[in-house]
Chains A and B, each alone.
Chain A
Amino acid sequence: MTTLTAPPATDVLAGVRAHVSLRESISQTLTMAWRATKKMRRNPEQFFDVTLQPLLFTAMFAYIFGGAVSGDVQSYLPLLIPGILAQTTLTTCMATGVQLREDMDKGVFDRFKSLPIARVARSPDRWWRTCSAI
C-alpha cells in the first residue's frame, strides 16, 4: 500500500537519457543478431538460399552446362562467380524484405519501435544476413 503514492515526475525521469550510447547500440545490435540466428536455426530452409544454392549453381554452370560455353570453363569462372554472388545477395535481400514486412504485420516491429533502442539495432538481422551472404 505504501507504493501507492506515485513519486514526483523527477523520480520517474531520473534514469532517462536523451541518447543511446555507442556501446548500447552495439550491444542491442548483437542481441538482435542473436534473434536472427535463433530464427535461422529454427527455419533452416531459409538458410539454404545462401549456403547450398551458390555451390549448386557454380557446380551446375561449370560442369553441367560448362560444355556449352565457348572457350574453356577456367576462363569462364571469373565471370560466373561474381554473377552468382550477386544473385545470392539479391535473393537474400528479397528474403530480408519479406521478413521485415512479416515483422511489421505481426506487430513485433511495433515493440522494437516502442523500445528505447538505437535505430540501427531495429533491423540488424537484415544487414547481418546480407553481410553473411556476401
Chain B
Amino acid sequence: MNVFSASDPDRASGSGSGSGSGSGELAVSAAGLVKHFGGTRAVAGIDLEVRRGQIFGVLGPNGAGKTTMLRMLATLLPIDAGQAHVFGVDVRREPHRVRQLLGVTGQYASVDENLTGRENLWLFARLQGIPAREARATSLRLLEQFDLQEAADKPISQFSGGMRRRLDLAASLIRRPPLIFLDEPTTGLDPRTRGQMWDTIRALVLDGCTVLLTTQYLDEADQLADRIAVIDRGIKVAEGTSDQLKSSVGSSTLHLRLAAPGDLPDAAEVVGRLLSEEPVLTPELGALNVSLTDADQAADVLIALRQSNLSISSLTVQKPTLDEVFLALTGHEAADRTAEHPDPDDPTGSSGPSDSGDSTDELTLEMTR
C-alpha cells in the first residue's frame, strides 16, 4: 500500500525519532487526568507529554485505561479531573476547537455500515465543510491511497476487517489533521495487513503528523513508537524510549562460555571482582551469566579475562526484550509470586522485582528532569 508517496520504513522511523527530540512544542499535554466509572477509577491521574512529529505509544494490558484516556483527550468522554491541552488548546474548555485538530480512529471501525466506502468518505468530508465536488475528489484520492478502489462501492458490511480499518483511518485523514489518535490500530489484523498499517502510520509522521497510538502489542510499540508510556491500572508506570525502557528493567545480560570448564571458578572470581556482582554459574557447560548495568562492561570483562589468561569460547550480550519490560512493569503476578516464595538460591530471581522497582524510580526521575 503506497500512501503519501514516500513510505520507506527505514527513513520514516529514522526521521521520526530525530524530529521528536527537536522542537520543544507539545502536541498533547495532559496533567493528572482522572476518570471514574462508578466506583472504579479507570484513569487515576495520568500525565502525558507528546512532542510534535512524534509517534507516541501507550502500552498496557487490557483494561489498563488506555482507551479511556484516549477518549478523554479526544473529547469523547468528559474529563473528571486534571488538565489536557492539544496544541495549547484546552480540551475541557474548547472541545470544538480541539476536534478540528484531531483525527480519531477508534478500536472498532467507526464507519457507517449501511453506506459504501465512497459514501462514507463523502459523508465525513461533507460534514467537515468540504464542498461537494471537492469531497468527491478527496474520497477518491483516499480510496486510492488506501488501496480500496475495487471495494469503493460495496457496502461496509461486506468489507474485511483490514479494509474496515483502512477505511476508518482514511476517514480520519480527510482534513489532514495535525494530530491523529489511533486506538489499537492493528488489533485483529493479519501480519501482512499489520505491516501495511505500520507503513501507513510511518508515512503519516513523515507528512508532519503527530500520532498517539495505544497498543497491547509490544513489537508494535517497539517498531513504531519514538516514545512509549506504559500504563497499568489507570496509572503510568514508566515512560521512555523503547531502549530506555529496555535498559532500565533487566539491564543487559552477559553470557560467557569458557574454553576450559575447569577455569570457571577463577573466571567467576575475576568477573565478580570487576562487576561487584556475583555471576550465576553453570558448571556443566563451563558457562556463567552476569547482568550488566552497561553493555560496555562486557569489554572490561574480556580484558580482565585476557589479563588472567582465561580463554573463552563464546560470549553474547543480550538486551532484554520489550516483553520482559512489559512483564516487569505490569506483571503483578510475577512480582507477587516471588514475594510469596522467595528463592534465596537464585540471585537473578530475587533481584528481578527489586530491579523493576528501581527502574521505575529511575524513569520518573528522568521524566522530571
Residues of B within 8 A of A9 (CB): 25, 87-88
Residues of A within 8 A of B178 (CB): 6, 12
Q: Mark A97-134, 1 if CB is under 8 A from B, else 0.
A: 00000000011111111111100010000000000000
Residues of A within 8 A of B47 (CB): none
Tell me what chain A mostly uses at the interface: helix, strand, loop, or mixed: helix
- In A22-69, which residues have CB < 8 Å from any B CB? 24, 27-28, 31-32, 34-35, 38-39, 42-43
Residues of B within 8 A of A75 (CB): none
Instruction: Given A6-B208, A35-B115, answer yes or no on A110-B104 (Cβ-Cβ < 8 Å).
Output: yes
The answer, yes or no, to whether A1 is at the interface (CB within 8 Å) is yes
Q: Select the residue from A18, A31, A38, A43 with max chain B CB neighbours within 10 A.
A: A31
Residues of A within 8 A of B74 (CB): 114
The answer, yes or no, to whether A4 is at the interface (CB within 8 Å) is yes
Q: In the complex, how many residue pairs between chain A and chain B have their CB atoms under 8 Å apart?
A: 119
Q: How far, in Å, is A103 (CB) from chain B's closest CB? A: 8
CA distance A127 to B30 in the complex (A): 38
9 further A-B pairs in the complex, CB-CB below 8 A; given A32-B127, A106-B113, A116-B96: A3-B208, A4-B15, A4-B206, A16-B101, A28-B126, A38-B114, A38-B115, A39-B114, A116-B97
Instruction: Given A6-B178, A38-B115, A121-B127, answer yes or no on A110-B53 (Cβ-Cβ < 8 Å).
Output: no
Residues of A within 8 A of B111 (CB): 107-108, 111
Residues of A within 8 A of B38 (CB): none
A34 near B19 with CB under 8 A, answer no
Q: How far, in Å, is B331 (CB) from chain A's closest CB? A: 31
- With both beta carbons as reference points, the residue of chain A lying nearest to B181 in the complex is identified as A114
- For the complex of A and B, the 3 pairs showing the least CB-CB separation, nearest first, are A107-B110, A111-B110, A116-B99
Q: How far, in Å, is B366 (CB) from chain A's closest CB? A: 24
Residues of A within 8 A of B126 (CB): 27-28, 31, 34
Mark B residues whose CB is within 8 Å of A. 6, 15, 19, 22-23, 25, 52-53, 74-76, 87-89, 94, 96-97, 99-102, 104, 106-115, 119, 123-124, 126-129, 155, 171, 178, 206-208, 210
A4 near B208 with CB under 8 A, answer yes
A13 near B89 with CB under 8 A, answer yes
Residues of A within 8 A of B88 (CB): 9, 13
Q: How far, in Å, is A115 (CB) from chain B's closest CB? A: 6
The answer, yes or no, to whether A82 is at the interface (CB within 8 Å) is no
CA distance A116 to B178 in the complex (A): 14
Q: Select the residue from B52, B124, B127, B128 with max chain A CB neighbours within 10 A.
A: B127
Q: Select the residue from A16, A109, A116 with max chain B CB neighbours within 10 A.
A: A116
A7 near B100 with CB under 8 A, answer no
Residues of A within 8 A of B109 (CB): 107
B99 near A43 with CB under 8 A, answer no
Which interface class (under 10, 10 to 19, 20 to 34, 35 or more) fits A? Answer: 35 or more
CA distance A109 to B104 in the complex (A): 12
- With both beta carbons as reference points, the residue of chain B lying nearest to A102 in the complex is identified as B113
Residues of A within 8 A of B76 (CB): 110, 113-114
Instruction: Given A12-B87, A110-B76, A117-B127, answer yes or no on A43-B101 (Cβ-Cβ < 8 Å).
Output: no
Q: Can you identify 19 A-B contacts, CB atoms within 8 angstroms?
A: A4-B15, A4-B206, A6-B178, A9-B25, A13-B89, A13-B97, A32-B127, A34-B123, A35-B112, A39-B114, A106-B113, A108-B112, A111-B111, A111-B171, A113-B76, A115-B99, A115-B124, A115-B128, A116-B128
CA distance A43 to B115 in the complex (A): 11
A1 near B15 with CB under 8 A, answer yes
A111 near B94 with CB under 8 A, answer no
Residues of B within 8 A of A43 (CB): 114
Q: Select the residue from A7, A42, A115 with max chain B CB neighbours within 10 A.
A: A115
Residues of B within 8 A of A35 (CB): 112, 115, 123
Residues of A within 8 A of B25 (CB): 6, 8-9
Q: How far, in Å, is A37 (CB) from chain B's closest CB? A: 11
Contact among B102, B104, B108 for A106, CB-based, below 8 A: B108
A110 near B114 with CB under 8 A, answer no
- In A10-24, which residues have CB < 8 Å from any B CB? 12-13, 15-20, 24
B100 near A16 with CB under 8 A, answer yes
A12 near B96 with CB under 8 A, answer no
Residues of B within 8 A of A74 (CB): none
B94 near A18 with CB under 8 A, answer yes
The answer, yes or no, to whether A70 is at the interface (CB within 8 Å) is no
A38 near B119 with CB under 8 A, answer yes
Residues of A within 8 A of B104 (CB): 110-111, 114
